[in-house]
Each structure stands twice: as structure tokens, then as C-alpha cells.
Amino acid sequence: MGLIDTYGRRINYLRLSVTDRCNMRCSYCMPEGGVEKLSHCEVLSYEDLLRIAREAVSAGIEKIRVTGGEPLVRKGILTFLEQLAALDGLKELVLTTNGLLLKQMAQGLRDAGVQRLNISLDSLQAETFSKITRGAGLAQVLEGIEEAERVGFPPHKINVVVMRGVNDHEILDFVKLTLTRPYAVRFIEYMPTSGDADWRDLCVPGAEIRERIAAQYQIEDAPSSERSGPSKNFRVAGAAGSLGIITAMTGHFCDGCNRLRVTASGVAQSCLFAGSGVDLRPVLATGDDALLRKELQAIVAAKPGKHQLTEEGAEATPFAMSRVGG
């Protein structure tokens, strides 16, 4: 039967955030001083996260993306991933990371059963990278990417949040990277998270990104895989890798939305921009997992049709992407 919402969309993809903590401070994701951290008792135990994942899978979820904050900073993550990978009925276990800890953890992730990695990489220039991430080193991430390839992960998806005047001059450098490497580079429209008044200036519309690429290269459409997210894919003719654009703001991929989110503190959100969600802790405390499954089904049933942010006069409600998990 699966999870079907009131708009007839099949929800088969869970984004599970395991921590709000991070070893970077990306300017587009959190304020310079960081966001107020959840206390240890607010963060769900792995046991509870696993109960949620198990019930979600038995209700119809087929793919779980583990995210954060930075998922690799949480202690015990590899054992947890191994337990997730063993869930009966789960077809895909994938993870989104900033790559800083990949060099030492890639083999462990592969062994735990993670099938694919999405890696955030917003600049190929050390100075710009460090400016965006407020101090993280590009070389360390690049080494991590190499190591993950070496241990046998399929070609990574590379996420680039495009910001006008910050890194948009590198769009063609990322395109060039795909000519010889098999990566799927995805350009993401900047989303307003901090309530910044100038987000419209920073956001480079997906259509413009595509035009800039098409002005230099001959491009052709590329297929999306099953259960994949909102990326619209294409490639430079003859390139080893592919390109994608995630029109998180201007696009209309809400019509095909297939996802549910659960934050590290146990809040289930039916939409990235939902603002608030449903606290699963009371139902977890009952110990009744059938009830937990029913709660997840009810949350899916109440999923909104789309976000309203591009409508005239709409204002973004500030939220920390690192809490929701992207």
C-alpha cells in the first residue's frame, strides 16, 4: 500500500537527521556564532531513531538519507548505519556529508552498508571555500572525496549551493570537473534560512545557471534515478559525469515530492519549509510502535502541497537548515 498523501504523492523517502551539530559553519546554513545546540537529552538516542526508521520502512519508506548537521560527527554513527542498512524492506541507504571526516571514515561507511554519498562542495578555490565554510580546509574535503572513491563508492553527487557574487563565478569550473570525472554535480538554488532580507540577491535562479552553461557547452538531458530527489539532470555531451540543478526556490518539484523528514530531536516534518512539525517523543515514550507508525502515516496524510515562498509578498520564516537536515 505504502504512504500516499492527500495529493496522491507516494512518500517513499525519509531524510533522517542524526545530529544538529557540525564541524563547519557554512554561511548559508547557520549564523557565524552557530545555532543554539540541542542538549544531549533533546537528541534522540540511536535506539529511538532506529524505531522511527523501522516503522517508517514498514509503512512504505524505501530510501533513507542520513543527514545532519554533520552526520559523521555523531559518536557511534557507523554502528547505527549498520543497523539501518539491515532493516528489512529498506532498498537504499545514503548519506549527505560535508566530507571533512571522509578520509578516515569512508571505509567504515562502505562497510556499514551506505550505498552512496552526496557531498557538499561549494568552491574549488581554497580561499572561497574557507570563506563560505568559515574556516574549513578544502584540501581535507578533496582528500576525503578521493578516499571515498578509492574504497569503492559509486560516483558521488556533489552539491554546490550557488550564491551570486560569492561562488557563481565557479559554475563553469564545476562543469569542467564533470568532463573528466564521473561525478554528478548539482547546483542548488540558495534557500532563505536566516530570514535575511537580501536572499533574493544571493539566489541565482536555476534557469540562469543552465543558460550560463548552455552558452559555453552543448548540453543534453540526463535521466534521474528511481526514488531520486528534486534534481533536474543533464550533461555536457560526451562528459564523464553529469550535472543537475535543484530549483529549491523557483522550481515546481513539489508536485513530485516523495519525502518526509525527521530531525535529531524527533520532530517529524512533512515539508522542508513546514516551520514546525510533530514531536514524536510522546508517542515514542508510550513504547507502542504500532502507534508510532500510525502517527507517521497521519503526518504524511497532512503533507502540504507545496511551499509558498516564491509567491508575491511571501516572507521566509527563519530556520536552521542544520537542524532540519536540508
Ligand X SMILES: Nc1nc2c(ncn2[C@@H]2O[C@H](COP(=O)(O)OP(=O)(O)OP(=O)(O)O)[C@@H](O)[C@H]2O)c(=O)[nH]1
Ligand Y SMILES: C[S@@+](CC[C@H](N)C(=O)[O-])C[C@H]1O[C@@H](n2cnc3c(N)ncnc32)[C@H](O)[C@@H]1O
**What is the nearest approach in angstroms of ligand Y to the Cβ of residue 305?**
21
User: Of 59, 13, 15, 8, nearest to 297 (Cα)?
Assistant: 59
Between 59 and 158, name the residue whose CB sits nearer to ligand X.
158
**Residue 271 found at the interface with ligand SF4 (CB under 6 A):** yes
Instruction: Output the CA torsion sign for 21, 27, 28, 32.
Output: positive
CB 184 within 8 A of CB 144: no
Number of residues that bind ligand X (CB under 6 A): 17
Q: Which does 193 bind (CB under 5 to 8 A by kind): ligand SF4, ligand X, ligand Y, none?
A: ligand Y
H-only helix segments in 13-97: 46-59, 77-85
Backbone angles phi, psi at 207, to 5 degrees: -60, -40
Any known ligand binding at 276? Answer: no
Any known ligand binding at 65? Answer: yes
The residue with cell 526508521 is: 53
Q: Give the cell for residue 178.
A: 564533470
Q: What does the alpha-carbon distance between residue 311 and residue 206 come to, in Å, rounded to a whole number?
A: 17
**What is the nearest approach in angstroms of ligand Y to the Cβ of residue 20?**
10
Any known ligand binding at 21? Answer: no
Taking CB under 6 A as the binding criterion, the range among 68-76, 165-173, 174-182, 190-198 that sits at the site for ligand SF4 is 68-76
Taking CB under 6 A as the binding criterion, the range among 4-12, 21-29, 224-232, 294-302 that sits at the site for ligand X is 224-232
Q: What does the alpha-carbon distance between residue 189 and residue 283 come to, in Å, rounded to a whole number?
A: 36
Q: Which does 12 bind (CB under 5 to 8 A by kind): ligand SF4, ligand Y, ligand X, none?
A: none
Residue 267 pairs with which residues in a beta bridge? 279
**What is the nearest approach in angstroms of ligand Y to the Cβ of residue 29?**
4
Q: Which residues bind ligand X (CB under 6 A)?
A: 65, 67, 96, 118, 157, 159, 188, 228-231, 246, 248, 257, 259, 272, 326
